[in-house]
Amino acid sequence: MTRILWISILLLIIAFVAVSCKNQKGLKQDIGEATLKNSKDSVQENHSDQSDSLLESEQGAASPKQPSDAKSRTSAVADSSLKNYKYSWTDSENIPPVIIIVDDFGTATGALLQNFANLPKEVAFAILPDLPHTQAAAQAAQNSGRDVLIHCPMEATISKTSPGKRYLKPGQDGETVRDMLDSFYAQMPMAIGLNNHMGSTATQNKELMQTVLEHLRTKGLLFVDSVTIGNTAGYRLAQSVGMRPIKRDLFLDVPDNSDATIAARISDLGRFRGRVEPVIIITHCHNNAKLVALQKFITQIQDMGVRLTSLSGWYGSGGVALGN
């Protein structure tokens, strides 16, 4: 009887210990889940903070959440998943150099403008005239030793956005066109040329573009056709007035700024293998997301052995090719 009693007590002790261990394990699991939840909440809060900071940087204010020094930004870009993509080419031999033009400067200021000015000096600024920060953008470009283009407002066929208070359009007489071009040039006399802002209506009009190109040639300025419409006359007419035809090959930020889009544009460089003239790529300065995308693109192509060059380093006065 005593033996049976002791066995029963032992079994009770074992059962008690087992229940205690199970409860302790459950408590640890609850703590772990709570910690994970807090961690996720923290990430969401930080993401919200960064979104607010991003908005501030888009408006030109300094962003405390964004890296302020170039080394930090480069390090962040270097960790990009772009390295993991499988591209249509891996050997940069016979891939031409790349010229990058950033359009629509004139509204960006503060930290956003400065961060764009920290990009490699080969990157050109295309600056809209008649805007509050036209002069600031021109000065930032000049201070950082980069090329400036007049980002000339021109009439578009279908657009909900106005090209600006003053813009070139079909039907304007030659004097009006030349005076407007001179006025735009006076706002950024360091400009080496001009590319069109919008302009799908204007650039397909041969009479207008003939006047534009002839005037640019007399001033020794380049014309880069942004090719906002397939039947543009600007690029095709350049040679007829004695200028070297220059046109945009790729838009970097279309349809978006995702890594997938950037990787697709990098793959597209393979289409130009064997070409002598540079691949001309256009993007925009609207926000920090476009800046980061451009930083990633530059970092990746340079890692793959592709060289950046500048408009002024490749093309001479009036569009005469110097080579590089």
Name which of 275, 269, 260, 203 is nearest 237 in CA terms. 203
**Do residues 281 and 271 make contact, with C-beta atoms less than 8 angstroms apart?**
no
Please give the distance of CA 90 from its chain centroid, rounded to a whole number.
Answer: 23
Report DSSP letters for 198-224, one per residue: E-TTTTT-HHHHHHHHHHHHHTT-EEE
Please state the φ and ψ torsions of residue 125, each to the nearest 5 degrees: -100, 125
b/e code 145-158 from CB counts within 10 Å (16+ = b): ebbbbbbbbbbbee
| Mean confidence (pLDDT) of the chain | 81
For residue 176, what are the contacts with CB-CB under 8 A and spacing of at least 6?
Answer: none
Confidence of residue 314 (pLDDT cuts 50, 70, 90): very high
Higher pLDDT, 33 or 308: 308
Residue 159: the pLDDT is: 80
pLDDT tens by residue, 165-223: 899 999 999 999 999 999 999 999 999 999 999 999 999 999 999 999 999 999 999 99
pTM: 0.76
**Which pLDDT tens digit goes with each residue over 218-239?**
999 999 999 999 999 999 999 8
Nearest to 86 by CA among 292, 296, 260, 256: 260
Long-range pairs for 138-142 at CB < 8 Å and ≥24 separation? 138/187, 138/188, 138/190, 138/191, 140/113, 140/114, 140/116, 141/105, 141/117, 141/190, 142/190
pLDDT given at position 316: 74
Please list the helix, strand and coil fractions of the chain in percent, rounded to the nearest 5, in that order: 50, 15, 40
Q: How many CB atoms are closer than 10 A to CB 54? A: 18
Among the listed ranges 6-10, 80-84, 210-214, which one has the minimum average pLDDT value?
Answer: 6-10
Per-residue pLDDT tens over the stretch 91-108: 999 999 999 999 999 999
Cβ neighbours of residue 50 under 8 Å, at least 6 residues apart?
Answer: 65
- Whether 139 has a pLDDT exceeding 80, the answer reads yes
Q: Is 199 left (phi over 0), alpha (psi -120 to 50) or beta?
A: left
User: CATH homologous superfamily of domain 92-319?
Assistant: Glycoside hydrolase/deacetylase (3.20.20.370)
